[in-house]
Structure 1
Amino acid sequence: MPNQHTNRRNFLLAAAGMALANMTGCVHYQFGNRSLFRPDIHSVHVPIFKSESFRRDLGERLTEQIIREIEDTSPYRIADAESADSVLRGTIVRDDKFVQGTNPLDDPRILREDLQIQYEWYDQRGQLIRQPTTVSLSQILKTGTITARGILYPEVGQTIVTAQQEAIDAFAKQVVENMQAPW
């Protein structure tokens, strides 16, 4: 009898030990996209991006898309300047339109819209937040300069706004990807 009682007690102790190890062994493990982002940052303030372009509303459109992308694909929440853990600000520094293809009468048939932004991500103490070096186009990934382009086909009814929106969508995705923590 004591042997059976000892076996049962050992089994219960082993099961309790495994359950405890299972619960505490994964305390810092995170599921989903939360594990891709910095655990010390919970909120971001995104002021309207400045624009050095003469085209109207580019900064506002880019800011809206970046906010949408942060809300959709990251665990960060958007907050006002006083309560946010970090601030993401930037400037559209270039806006160019190029002809890529013409017809025999030299009318433009394929156009390209290039936008370039510069952005910085700061914590509330004003220090640049380090970013992963593998995702950015620049070597030092504390501030980044990103170029994106949109293609425009006027014959099928596209306008410069559709090409700009294509570039803005690409920017927003790239900026949020650059907010991910290094591996």
Structure 2
Amino acid sequence: MANSIRVRIGIGSVVPMVLLAFVLATGCAPYRFGNAALFPPGIQTVHVPIIRDATFRHDLGLQLTEALIREIELRTPYKVTADPFADTTLKCEVIGETKRVLTETDSDYPRALDAAIQVRASWTDRAGRLLLNNSIVPTDDLTILFSQDERFVPEAGQSVDMAMQKAIEDLAGRIVSQMETRW
């Protein structure tokens, strides 16, 4: 006969081991994985209305709306919806755009220019609570001001439209970054 060792484990000793393994695996608080851990929980949808444009370049609002929707869909766990009764609403307004000469040639032709865009943004939930937090300058205002500029050189074939598009894409990235939860 072969020697065999039989180990008898009762149900009373298995349950505590399973509970201990579960607690060690999950921790004391729920843990979120991936980019969902960077954003406030409990939000599934974001409504981004067409951005109002108070400048003479009326296409900036539409371009920023498209860039924001792309960034939110790409970088956040949220779904952008046309429903105004979504979990949250991200409202923005283009309040200014400028173009200024940085350097000139000897004959006073612009060599390098700077195109800038200024935007006011507000992200609120259904109850009207502000979700965007400006930790640098706390104010009573429900909006945060964003500004982005981009340098361009016409001699190199660059245009103000190209510079504004790049500034809008960078600005959309900065606004979506402000949607992240503060540590």
The normalised TM-score by structure 1 is 0.86
SS state of the match for residue 104, structure 1? coil
Alignment correspondent of 2:159 = 159
Equivalent pair of 1:138/1:145 in contact (CA under 8 Å): no
Find the partner of 2:62 among 60, 65, 87: 60
Q: Distance in 2 between matches of 1:152 and 1:132?
A: 30
Q: Does the C-alpha gap of structure 1 residues 132 and 22 become closer, same or farther in structure 2, counting only changes over 3 Å?
A: farther
RMSD: 2.2
Equivalent position amino acid for 1:16 in 2 = V
Q: Does the C-alpha gap of structure 1 residues 128 and 19 become closer, same or farther in structure 2, counting only changes over 3 Å?
A: same
Find the partner of 1:123 among 125, 128, 132: 125
Alignment correspondent of 1:96 = 98
Equivalent position amino acid for 1:129 in 2 = L
Alignment correspondent of 1:110 = 112
Q: Distance in 2 between matches of 1:27 and 1:96?
A: 48
Deviation at 1:26, TM superposition (A): 6.0
Alignment correspondent of 1:17 = 19
Structure 1 position 139 matched with structure 2 position 138: yes
Aligned residues, how many? 176
Q: Distance in 2 between matches of 1:174 and 1:100?
A: 24
Equivalent pair of 2:124/2:132 in contact (CA under 8 Å): no
- Gaps of at least 5 residues in structure 2 are 1-5
- The Cα offsets for residues 101-160 of structure 1, whole Å up to 9 and x where unpaired, read as 111111101000011000111111233225362xxx643485210110011110111111
Higher helix share: 1
State percent identity of aligned pairs: 34
Q: Does the C-alpha gap of structure 1 residues 132 and 146 become closer, same or farther in structure 2, counting only changes over 3 Å?
A: closer
SS state of the match for residue 97, structure 1? strand
SS state of the match for residue 90, structure 1? strand
Q: Distance in 2 between matches of 1:132 and 1:53?
A: 25
Select between 166-175 and 17-26 the one with higher mean Cα deviation: 17-26
Q: Distance in 1 between matches of 2:149 and 2:55?
A: 15
Equivalent pair of 2:45/2:88 in contact (CA under 8 Å): yes
Q: Does the C-alpha gap of structure 1 residues 68 and 98 become closer, same or farther in structure 2, counting only changes over 3 Å?
A: same
Structure 1 position 40 matched with structure 2 position 42: yes
Deviation at 1:77, TM superposition (A): 0.6
Equivalent position amino acid for 1:117 in 2 = V
SS state of the match for residue 170, structure 1? helix
Equivalent position amino acid for 2:143 in 1 = T
Alignment correspondent of 1:84 = 86
Q: Does the C-alpha gap of structure 1 residues 13 and 125 become closer, same or farther in structure 2, counting only changes over 3 Å?
A: closer
Q: Distance in 1 between matches of 2:40 and 2:142?
A: 14
